[in-house]
Amino acid sequence: MSTMIEVKNLAKYFAAKKGIIEVLKRKKGRYVKAVDRISFHVKEKEMLGLVGESGCGKTTTGKLLLRLVDPTSGEILFKGEDALSFDGRMMKKFRRSVQSIFQDPYGSLNPKMRIYNLLAEPLEIYNIASNNAEKMRIIKENLETVQLTPPENYLYKYPSMLSGGQLQRVAIARALLMQPEFIVADEPVSMLDVSVRGSVLNLLVALRNKFSLSGVFVTHDLAIAKYMCDRIAVMYLGKIVEIGPAEEIIDEPIHPYTKALLAVVPTVQALNKPYKKVEEVIRGGVPQSAETLPNGCRFHPRCISANEDCKKCEPELFEAKPNHQVACYIK
């Protein structure tokens, strides 16, 4: 498989001013390293999961991949081309190839537009349909693809007339209209009722297989990451601390932070053979502030196993197992 997207030393700084985080060019002052020199790649037909606590940089990474915000430094290579150098024409092509599914369907869909108009707009922007009849056919086909049937029941409704699960299916249909090659899904089921999450996840898996999609799946739920993704990257305070095959990350975690995340996940297996208890791998309290990062490993103030090396120098990712990298001094 060839590489679809590759990220090299990507960094994004936010300047903190009067308690408000503002996106600015890097100048003298206090800065939050929302994403700090992360590197990874996603191959064709592969789904990479980004997991971690709130504020670790997952969503910012997704926005960087979509070019919704630009990095302070680094490279984003899409099919071997530098996406950061794209001009207007290339950016329009890039926008069609790289689509998004956002967390909040209520916020990502214009409440003043009917479902038909929401789906017709991108077709008109990219001149995909030659006439109104073809436009209607494409829209109906996509609504059926996301299991909103019969489509006539939804075409002329406003978003406020649909449930959260139905709205997220509309958002998925809108992304698929463009026949994308790459999808960035940012917590696409976290705002949905538990009763409908499973059906939407199953739909996403089916669509990924049907259209051979690649992408990045942002989630704080490790069980969902294992189900949806081929590989998982664990983020902590803007850094990737562990990355590898999904099943291996879940079943044989190496980094203490990954173990801590798994320790709080209730599982049937935990009744017989539980992971280490949370207090065995992590100290209590909240994560270190991103404005005042500690020296050395960013996780060491919360890590039970931290030694002097952890406090002095920040560890880099190394290959602990084939295709499984970790940034940790604890062997």
pLDDT at residue number 227: 94
Residue 28 is predicted with a pLDDT of 57
**Cβ atoms within 10 A of the Cβ of 288, count?**
16
Point out which residues pair with 231 in neighbouring strands. 48, 245
What is the per-residue pLDDT for 13?
A: 87
- The pLDDT of residue 16 is 65
Q: List, for the chain, all residue ranges whose pLDDT scores fall below the cut of 70.
A: 16-29, 266-281, 284-286, 331
pTM for the model stands at 0.91
How high is the mean pLDDT of the chain? 89
Contact call for residues 138 and 123 (beta carbons, < 8 A):
yes
Residue linked to tokens 């971690």: 52
User: CATH classification of 3-112+158-326, choosing from 2.60.40.420, 3.30.70.100, 3.40.50.300, 3.30.930.10?
Assistant: 3.40.50.300
Q: CB within 8 A of 219, min separation 6: which ones?
A: 49, 50, 51, 58, 187, 190, 225, 228
Task: State the greatest distance between any 2 C-alpha atoms of the chain, in Å, as a whole number.
Answer: 69
pLDDT of 271: 42
CB 62, CB 42: distance < 8 Å: no
How many Cα atoms are found within 13 Å in the side-chain-facing hemisphere of 177?
Answer: 32
pLDDT (0 to 100) of residue 264: 76
- Alpha carbon of residue 176 to chain centroid: 17
Per-residue pLDDT at 23: 47
Tokens 């917590």 sit at which residue?
A: 187
List the helix and strand counts (H, then E) for the chain. Answer: 12, 13
The two structure tokens encoding residue 254 = 């190496």
